[in-house]
Amino acid sequence: MGQLFTIFFTIFILLNEHWLLIPLIPFVIYPFAWSGHYFFEKNEPATFNHPIKAKVSDWKMFFDIVRGKIKI
């Protein structure tokens, strides 16, 4: 769901021409993901050690959910 929020945030920025917010797009979901890792899973997010791999994996999982390969 975080990736969906990122898409909506990006659309909002583009439609309302808030160009200064564009650098924030990759980081929109991280506070939610990090809090989930720390408070529920009790582990360290992969983003700290491998930020690009973590983001690519997030998008891959999102598209797998959209295509029905992963059930939520």
CA distance 29 to 6: 7
Q: What is the pTM of this model?
A: 0.63
pLDDT attached to residue 58: 83
List pLDDT tens digits, range 9-65: 999 999 999 999 999 887 888 888 888 888 998 988 887 888 888 888 888 988 998
Q: Is 17 left (phi over 0), alpha (psi -120 to 50) or beta?
A: left
